[in-house]
Amino acid sequence: MPRRADAQSSVAPRGDYIELHCHSGFSLLDGASNPETLIARAAAIGMGAVALTDHDDLGGAVRWAEAGREHGVEAIVGLELTVGTGARGHGDTAQDPPCPCASVRPCVPISHLTLLATDQAGYRNLSRLVTRARSGERGAPAASWEEVERHAAGLFCLTGCPFGEVPQRLARDDETGV
């Protein structure tokens, strides 16, 4: 969410700003507020729309949509999907350069992809992708790039997460496929 706008703030809320990467308490360790509180706050600071993109989870989507209707805020439903990269990952083969995120957390051959539903088909595809991601090893959800491609209809893709494929490649000065 944008900078806090309270009674002491001299910063006027901007109605033309849309947060497209917002986590709720359904993203353990990344978000703390419930979906209703996030929507209420967005309405209070004059935001016309905001996207909920919890990690591999659509658990707050219904509450999010209902709160959006209640507060007159366009509640965009999305998720930050963990995608397994296999040989295209970093740090998973001897030829790969050192991992740029190793100082932050252990390197694993995955990346994050932020996906927003643009219509009902997109929401169905988000549901399919998160189901497939969670059908693997418990506690380590990941969908394949092939599954993402197969279920891309109705989805808008963002690369803003620092653990996304594009930012990871750029951090390694690897512009192939970017």
Asked whether residue 74 is domain-assigned, the answer is: yes
Asked whether residue 5 is domain-assigned, the answer is: no
Q: Is 50 helix (H, G, I), strand (E, B) or coil?
A: strand
Asked whether residue 141 is domain-assigned, the answer is: yes
List, as one string, the DSSP characters of 91-126.
SSSTTSPPPTTTTTS---SEEEEEEEE-SHHHHHHH
Give the domain range for residue 162: 19-171
What is the number of structural domains in the chain? 1
Asked whether residue 177 is domain-assigned, the answer is: no
Cβ(59)–Cβ(119) below 8 Å: no
Which is nearest to 49 in space by CA: 27, 26, 72? 72
Which is nearest to 34 in space by CA: 43, 25, 21? 25
Asked whether residue 80 is domain-assigned, the answer is: yes
6-32 pLDDT per residue, tens: 444 434 445 688 999 999 999 988 899
Instruction: Kindly report the pTM of this predicted structure.
Output: 0.77
Q: Is 29 helix (H, G, I), strand (E, B) or coil?
A: coil
127-178 pLDDT per residue, tens: 999 999 999 888 889 999 999 999 999 999 998 788 788 888 888 888 776 5
CATH at residue 160: 3.20.20.140
pLDDT bin (cut points 50, 70, 90) of residue 91 is very low
